[in-house]
């Protein structure tokens, strides 16, 4: 009999707030986390805006000396995991220590640290490189530090699949529990690469919005006037747990994880195929895994990056999979408020999908003022919608043509 998996903890560190409640409240109010870049002088950059995490104090989670030796993406991940773990009510015991795993996603790792210490190497020589350089930059450090922080000794993995990494992490964690490799998994994504090299690199690809004079409206998925995504940072972590374990201890169950799909476009390093067929295959695979028909899905948290190509192609993919039901679905892109957190996006958006089911409120697509004629679905424009969706699908599609989809169901 297939083991069932539920969500019993949620932790968020985002440009909308430190903590799940603060972030969720801001999201429902349509609040934007985007503003001018403050991390460095961006005056010579084509894109001068970002969704930065504000008010984060590393010393709330780490001793000052330790915090100094951790890149921000690791700090955010550990903080979000700490919030999620406490929210779950779980604790490590002799009985479960080997049955709790950590599976996280990250797109680029400690790029700001690489940038910083390349300067040190060039200006001061190799002997001035800190011995913490390598442990600060490698992408699996969030999962390593989370396991050390909480004391869990189960599977410990990192997915590095660009903008699909967080979703792949959640999906793999789900499967680890289904297959019996662990009973609990701390999972999600983390990213922090708001630095000159990343902003310059994405700008060179013409991927970022240049709406520098109006940052809060720059991320506008499915809008006719969208011109690129807004780079963002943060961490979103879920605690997944085998259902019987959660029931035995009387845990709060936010939602059930019921399906996971993966696919490859095999098409282009950055662009999706124009008909969105890779994304469509991925959504169909998640539906098969869940044993669901397309008509069973009520809400989709779209990848919805605010780039001209992605939003059109994702819309086409949804129509391919859902047919006439596509026009009955609620679809929204929370990136309209958070910006695009790259490898963290899937973790954050999985959490938003779960909270949508738990609270019965669908977050809006902010800034959708003039819909693109090619994007003609119900994107829940501008204002959150009270509803009682029973199911939610969360989409993530990454450079290299890698796709991931997870499906959640309201637990009853």
Catalytic residue list = 163, 303, 340
Do the Cβ atoms of 242 and 79 come closer than 8 Å? Answer: no
Q: How far is residue 158's CA from residue 188's CA, in Å, rounded to a whole number? A: 10
For residue 203, give both structure tokens. Answer: 């700008």
Task: Give the 3-state secondary structure percentages of the chain, helix then strand then coil, rounded to 5.
Answer: 40, 20, 40
Kindly tell me the burial class for residue 412, based on how many C-beta atoms sit within 10 Å of its own C-beta (0-12, 13-18, 19 or more).
exposed
**In b/e form, how buried is each residue of 281-317, taking b as 16+ CB within 10 angstroms?**
bbbbbbbebbebebebbbbbbbbbbbbeebbbbbbbb
SS3 5: strand
Q: How far is residue 181's CA from residue 157's CA, in Å, rounded to a whole number? A: 12
Q: How far is residue 310's CA from residue 218's CA, in Å, rounded to a whole number? A: 16
Query: Which among 167, 397, 168, 160 has a CA at the least distance from the CA of 270?
Result: 397
Element (H, E) at 86: helix 72-88
Kindly tell me the burial class for residue 269, based on how many C-beta atoms sit within 10 Å of its own C-beta (0-12, 13-18, 19 or more).
exposed
Query: Which among 59, 28, 408, 78 has a CA at the least distance from the CA of 235?
Result: 78
């Amino acid at each position: 009999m297939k083991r069932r998996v539920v969500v019993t903890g949620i932790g968020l560190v985002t440009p909308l707030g430190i903590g799940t409640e603060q972030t969720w409240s801001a999201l429902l109010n349509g609040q934007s986390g985007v503003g001018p870049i403050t991390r460095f002088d961006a005056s010579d950059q084509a894109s001068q805006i970002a969704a930065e995490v504000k008010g984060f104090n590393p010393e709330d989670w780490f001793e000052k000396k330790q915090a100094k030796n951790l890149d921000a993406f690791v700090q955010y991940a550990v903080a979000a995991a700490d919030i999620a773990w406490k929210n779950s009510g779980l604790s490590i015991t002799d009985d479960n220590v080997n049955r709790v795993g950590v599976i996280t996603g990250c797109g680029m790792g400690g790029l700001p640290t690489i940038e910083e210490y390349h300067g040190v190497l060039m200006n001061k020589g190799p002997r001035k490189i800190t011995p913490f350089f390598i442990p600060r930059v490698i992408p699996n450090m969030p999962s390593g530090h989370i396991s050390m922080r909480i004391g869990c000794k189960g599977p410990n993995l990192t997915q590095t699949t660009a903008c699909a990494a967080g979703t792949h992490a959640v999906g793999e964690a789900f499967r680890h529990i289904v297959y019996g490799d662990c009973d609990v998994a701390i999972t999600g994504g983390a990213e922090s690469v708001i630095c000159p090299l990343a902003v310059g690199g994405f700008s060179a690809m013409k991927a970022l919005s240049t709406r520098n004079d109006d940052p809060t409206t720059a991320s506008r998925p499915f809008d006719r006037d969208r011109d690129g995504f807004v780079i963002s940072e943060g961490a979103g972590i879920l605690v997944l747990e085998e259902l019987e374990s959660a029931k035995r201890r009387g845990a709060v169950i936010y939602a059930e994880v019921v399906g996971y799909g993966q696919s490859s476009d095999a098409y282009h390093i950055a662009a999706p195929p124009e008909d969105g067929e890779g994304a469509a295959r991925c959504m169909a695979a998640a539906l098969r895994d869940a044993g669901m028909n397309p008509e069973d899905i009520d809400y989709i948290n779209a990848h919805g990056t605010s780039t001209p190509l992605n939003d059109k192609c994702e819309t086409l993919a949804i129509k391919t999979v859902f047919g006439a039901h596509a026009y009955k679905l609620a679809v929204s892109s929370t990136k309209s408020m958070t910006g695009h957190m790259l490898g963290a996006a899937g973790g954050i958006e999985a959490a938003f999908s779960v909270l949508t089911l738990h609270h019965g409120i669908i977050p809006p697509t902010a800034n959708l003022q003039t819909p693109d004629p090619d994007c003609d679905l119900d994107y829940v424009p501008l204002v959150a919608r009270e509803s009682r969706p029973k199911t939610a699908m969360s989409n993530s599609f990454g450079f290299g043509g890698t796709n991931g989809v997870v499906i959640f169901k309201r637990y009853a």
